[in-house]
Amino acid sequence: MRASDVAVMIDHTLLKPEATEDDVKALIDEAARLGTFSVCVSPNQLPVNVPAGLKVATVCGFPSGAHASTVKAAEAADSVSKGADEVDMVVNLKLVKEGNWHAVHGDIKAVKDACGDVLLKVIIESAALTDEEIVKCCECAEAAGAEYVKTSTGFHPAGGASAHAVKLMRETVGDRLGVKASGGIRDAAAAQEMIAAGASRLGLSSSAKVLEGLEK
């Protein structure tokens, strides 16, 4: 794959809690230079100024997902009011592990309702889930109106994205939703593996290194 083709699939990401305003400005400059789809920053960094054509994504209920749905919804609404074009929320893993799918759906729908027309991605922490739980999370996300499912926060000790999880997520949502692979994708080979498995978006903090490994 060509670097330019992959660049437009990347959410260029900086979610370290200690990131400063200068760090975010550097992230935006690099994203513009690389031609990525968006930058993804923490809610406390919003609003940010970006060049025309560069989208702004943020996270919600991050990184644990163990927040009340009302809190997640309020956070999402605040981010939207500050210019976020996309919101990446973390599911409530307690509810997932308990098999309380009605509540999982309700948690996602509360955030989607708060987002309105703003695109919502649902982070399921696939490395911490069984295949059955991955499928059910994807089904809940679709039923609740989300536009994307996403593998990982990159902060969970169970790990990040895997080609197996991406493939299963793509098989579950078909072409109706996007699939974002994130967490531990640090070189061109890993990025291409995720795309081949069905990823339509990549969450990367090592975007420059990944793109350097591809044809210009």
Catalytic machinery residues: 88, 150, 180
Query: Are 70 and 52 a contacting pair, CB within 8 Å?
Result: no
**Residue 72: count of CB within 10 angstroms of its CB:** 24
Q: How many CB atoms lie within 10 A of CB 45?
A: 20
Quickly tell me which residue has 């536009």 as its tokens: 147
Distance CA 114, CA 74 (A): 7
Asked if residues 202 and 181 have their Cβ atoms less than 8 Å apart, the reply is: yes
Q: Give the integer Cα–Cα distance in Å for 201 and 195.
A: 8
Contacts of 76 (CB under 8 A, 6+ apart): 60, 87, 89, 111, 114, 115, 120
Q: Categorise residue 164: left if φ over 0, alpha if ψ from -120 to 50, beta otherwise.
A: alpha
How far is the C-alpha of 149 from the C-alpha of 138, rounded, in Å? 6
